[in-house]
Structure 1
Amino acid sequence: MSIPTITGVALGGRADAPLLLLGPSLGTSATTLWAAAADALAADFRVVGWELPGHGHGAPTSVPFTMADLARGVLALADELAGDSAFHLAGDSVGGAVTLQLALDAPSRVLTAAVLCSGARIGSPDTWHERAATVRASGTGAVVAGSAQRWFAPGFLDREPARGSALLHALQGADAESYALVCEALAAFDVTERLPEISAPVLAVAGERDVPTPPSSLRTVADGVRHGRLVVLDDVAHLAPAEAPHEVARLLIDHAGGGRTHD
């Protein structure tokens, strides 16, 4: 195992604003998933997305890693950006899992945490190992159709064809081995019993239509941590930052105490 080098992508905001790190879902890039929400977040934060290995601008890797290794990589990125200052953290799916891991491993650094369409455990080990094998054998193109069904609520691709297409192209362009290694890290991830250790305020955001991480998964997080709140978004599936960017941005600003007044 090794600590992956995590690449950051500037998504807006002033350099002297509070740092908000945004984590991706498996198969997405920081830009394709978070750009629309980041436009609204930039008035309150220095917004930086982070990439999974082999996704977006992230460097590919063939070295196995754990979710704790990914969290250490994200913390190293935060050190580069803000020294030892505390920061706000949000992530969708695997990005949410890393958010929980980092809140456990570096509690003094996380001001607030937001976990979107994610969980303290996601899926089953067998399912993740099967997907890793599929992608190693046939590339990420083999999972595009299934991901399109899981990622988006009915009607989203008709309403937002450009955003949906960009996300699916990011998946097809992801490095197969890096993708498989993320699957294997997810197979071993389960912090359910450790949720009570998390002291940072946690916002858990669920998509009403999300099958991989349904509202019950986010309820477990919100109820398990010391200071948790659950919000369920109507007509949203697994990629809330892309499907409901303005609502997600409002929730994150309110959760972090951005202080802006919303209409």
Structure 2
Amino acid sequence: MQIEYRLDGPADAPVLVLSNSLGTTFTSWQPQMAALTRHFNVLRYNTRGHGNTPLPPSSVTLELLGRDVIDLLDREGIQQAHFCGVSLGGLTGLWLSRFATHRCRRVVVANTAARIGHSAHWLQRVRHIRKKGLSAIAASAPSRWFGEDFIRHFQPQVSEMSVALSQASPEGYVACCEALAAADLREEVRRIRLPMLIVAGENDLITPVADSEWLRSHIHGAELTLLPASHLSNIECPQAFSERVCDFLLA
């Protein structure tokens, strides 16, 4: 396994794993790092096919993405960790909460769902990328990721992320789209018994608030926080996101 990852923060602090969304790298967590490293030893990693993390010989599945996290914990000798993931990373967190409960402490899942979108939508995107590459997807990504006000006021940051996506691995993006097409935890999440915070973006069109409300109603004891954001709420509302995550994990 050659997962690209890094650790930041006090070595003797509780470990917090961060898992990013489809089409981004672990640099997308930079707005949270100053706040999180005051309290946690933060482990960031790049999902399969993203950054310098290679694709596996076989197909990418949600189970594989979850087991990658377990392997990283094993590599670092970490028995238990907190977890925070956005979108695909949040779905990975749901899998870990269900199937690797003993490795998790408290879990935050943001802008995610037990099933994100529909299989046909992801497979259509796969066909589009295989035909035309990532450029068109990258050009339209800001409107999926952020609200209009954020795009207008933070144009350099938005453009940088869009360019990074256009230069990413099409094969890696496609592989994770196929994993999303197959991933469905709707019959499993009701068995989760870990402390969990669900973060939703009020203007998120990819994983609407209704998806987060469904999760809260099916996961015993789960808490729900709404932020005035679209899909990447940790970037659009960095301070509020960081404060809520810290409050929950330190409770």
Counterpart among 36, 43, 47 of residue 41 in structure 1: 36
CA gap of 1:62–1:135, structure 2 versus 1, over 3 A, is farther
Name the structure 1 match of 2:14.
18
Residues 142-201 of structure 1: per-residue CA shift (max 9 Å, x gap): 201321111001111222223222321221122111111100110111111211211111
Structure 1 residue ranges without an equivalent (≥5): 259-263
Aligned ranges 1:168-247 → 2 under 5 Å: 168-234=162-228, 236-247=229-240
The 5 Å alignment of 1:158-173 reads: 158-173=152-167
Q: Deviations over 1:109-150 (max 9, x none)?
A: 110111101100000000000111111222211201321111
Task: State whether structure 2 residue 6 is matched by structure 1 residue 9.
Answer: yes
- Aligned partner of residue 250 in structure 1, secondary structure: helix
Q: Compute the TM-score of the two structures, normalised by the length of structure 2.
A: 0.95
Measure the CA separation in 1 of the matches of 2:164 and 2:245. 25
Please name the residue that 1:261 is paired with.
Answer: none
**Distance between the aligned counterparts of 1:229 and 1:103, measured in 2?**
15
1:137 equivalent in alignment to 2:131: yes
SS of match in other structure, 1:27: coil
SS of 1:155's equivalent? helix
| C-alpha distance in 2 between matches for 1:155 and 1:62 | 42
Corresponding position of 1:69: 64
Q: Is 1:147 aligned to residue 146 of structure 2? A: no
The reply on whether 1:252 has 2:250 as its aligned counterpart is no
| In 1, Cα distance between equivalents of 2:219 and 2:104 | 14
Structure 2 gaps, min length 5: none
- Residue among 73, 76, 86 paired with 1:78: 73
Letter of the 2:67 partner, please give it: R
SS at match of 1:204: strand
Displacement of 1:80 in angstroms is 1.7
Tell me the distance in 2 between the aligned counterparts of 1:17 and 1:170.
Answer: 32
**Kept in 2: contact 1:9–1:48 (CA 8 A):** yes
Please give the alpha-carbon distance, in whole angstroms, between the structure 2 residues aligned to 1:128 and 1:9: 30
For structure 1, which segment, 211-220 or 162-171, has the greater mean C-alpha deviation from structure 2 after superposition?
162-171
- Where 2:188 maps in the other structure, the secondary structure is helix
- Quick one: distance in 2 between partners of 1:29 and 1:84? 23
Aligned partners of 1:129 and 1:79: how far apart in 2?
33
Could you tell me how far apart the structure 2 residues matched to 1:226 and 1:157 are? 36
Q: Matched residues in 2 for 1:184 and 1:103: separation?
A: 22
**TM-score, L = length of structure 1:** 0.91
Report the CA distance between 1:61 and its aligned residue.
4.8
- 157-166 vs 100-109, which moves further: 157-166
